[in-house]
Amino acid sequence: MKGTDTDDDMDAGLFADTEEEEEGLFSSSSSSSSSPPSSSSLSTKPAAVREKNSTGDGGDSHSHSGVSGGGGGGRGGSGITEREFSCHCCYDVLVDPTTLNCGHSFCRHCLAQWWESSHKTECPECRDKWEGFPRVNILLRDAVEKLFPDVVRQRREQIHANPRVAHSVLAFQRHGDEQANRGVANGGQRRGAGGFFSGVLTALSAVAVILLVCHWGSREGVQELLVSKPVSSWSPEDVALWLEHLGPWASLYQDSFHTEQVNGRLLTLLDEEELSRAPFSVLNQAHRRAILEELKRVRSLGVKPPQNLWEYKAVNGGKSLFLLYALKSSPRLTLLYLYLFDYEATFRPFIHTCCPAQRLEKSLDGRPAKTPEEDPNWKQWSEFLVKYALLPYQLIAEFAWDWLGVHYWTSRFVIVNAMLLSVLEGCAFWRLWSRAEIRTLPKKMWSHFWKMLSQGLAFLLLWPMIPQFVCNCLFYWALYFNPIINIDLVVQQLRHPDTQVP
């Protein structure tokens, strides 16, 4: 029996020495081959675990960190270590392990931080895109919690004590809830509109079709010819249409112009004295001045100047499409572009409309004068710069409001879309402030500038090759259908303001 006890003691000593050597080899290999932990990871191992791992006494071999901390001494020979259950982001024991389609598993908070920082739905290790929304691997989670209960408990406490990590996990989960509510399935593709927004989209489609049919079937199509037809070739009927477009007050003089068969050439020769005498008899000084101002513009341009959205689109098809999308994506940069490169034709009328001078003078049909030739005064510039910096979309809404009498439904679509875009911009700034990322704003603005510049150059190169039918579809889509998409985005932001969808 004594010999047997001696043999057992020798076997135990050999086992302890062997285990110490294996542990030393494992620690040296892991330190040389493993890459350093990610800077976004929470964690270092708890002190108790580090002391346990660094112990080299053969008598403590049963308390090795590779086995369960809760009475798992009987499994000391199984060879289970923390390395086999470690996350490849933080290189620590998995907490709420989340398995992706590619088979790799990560801590849920590590995956949430990766998603939030990279804005990508792909595996951090192999870059394979995941499908659907990743869920916690329950079987793996239970196994890790049974093998390493103390480590998991301490790491959970660290996660809950870090508000930034907890915020990332919450935003990640809300993103998954939104995907489920929106019916997002394989590959992130939308199953169908459905519900309330489907009905609204259908109603908007019907309204848009009716508006387009009315527009194409009305006389506006004939009037648009004047914006591209030289004034020297105007017929008396064209002159009558030109007068009609000046406003309801001009109908008082249509008969006299038509009786005298005034064509385009004769129209450009008229002056104030001839207009005040018979047969024209424009005795109202305000009416006479309005006709002369329009004649001056016609003489300088050689054609009828655009006076509404459809005429502007007929003359500047590519420019109108560019401005429609650019004002929606980046109103500040677009207004700066208009100031630098299109001041007289577009920017000056825009600022006079959005920030009118305090004048008692009204236009002949009761609306404020829209496009005065003089430059804005300092009060107008002050008002414009404040709105430009804080509420750029309000400038667009005020511009559309001024044209409410001319484009009844279209102006309302533009106003609603501008309000929705203002809410989305406010939510974006709130996210930066709540996440203490306001210092990253200059970097984001600089990247946004280069993005808009590259898109503008691409549009400049591709515009001549795009068919007119496609351009019209894009124009009317952005004008009439884009608001319903923004309504959906605003509802999501108001329900979950902390969620940032990549």
How confident is the model at residue 14, as a pLDDT? 35
Picking from 118-127, 297-306, 372-381, 490-499, which range would have the lowest pLDDT averaged per residue? 490-499
* Topology annotation, domain 2-188: Herpes Virus-1 (3.30.40)
CA-CA-CA-CA torsion sign (256, 262, 267, 271): negative
Tokens of 196: 């309330």
pTM for the model = 0.57
- Which residue has better confidence, 359 or 34? 359
Break the chain into its structural domains and give their ranges: 2-188, 230-301, 312-495
Query: Of the candidates 179, 166, 106, 156, which has an alpha carbon nearest to the alpha carbon of residue 136?
Result: 106
pLDDT tens per residue across span 128-147: 887 778 888 888 888 888 88
pLDDT tens per residue across span 253-278: 888 888 888 888 888 888 888 888 88
* H or E element in which residue 107 lies: strand 105-107
Domain 230-301, CATH class in plain words: mainly alpha
Q: What is the mean pLDDT of the chain?
A: 74
Question: How far apart are the C-alpha atoms of 312 and 324, rounded to whole Å?
Answer: 12
Contact 35, 81 (CB under 8 A): no
N-term to C-term CA, the chain: 72
* H or E element in which residue 214 lies: helix 195-217
Amino acid letter, 349: P
Judged against a pLDDT cut of 50, whether residue 490 lies above it is answered with yes
Question: How far apart are the C-alpha atoms of 224 and 237, rounded to whole Å?
Answer: 14
| CB under 8 A, 24+ apart: contacts of 226-230 | 226/303, 226/304, 227/303, 227/304, 227/305, 227/306, 227/311, 227/314, 227/315, 228/303, 228/314, 228/315, 229/303, 229/304, 230/264, 230/302, 230/303
Same fold, 2-188 and 230-301: no
- Report residue 444's pLDDT band, with 50, 70 and 90 as the boundaries: confident
Judged against a pLDDT cut of 80, whether residue 63 lies above it is answered with no
Identify which of 152-161, 298-307, 419-428 has the greatest average pLDDT: 419-428
Q: What is the mean pLDDT of residues 312-336?
A: 89
Picking from 40-54, 85-99, 239-253, which range would have the lowest pLDDT averaged per residue? 40-54
Contact 383, 375 (CB under 8 A): no
For residue 362, the cross-strand partners are 368
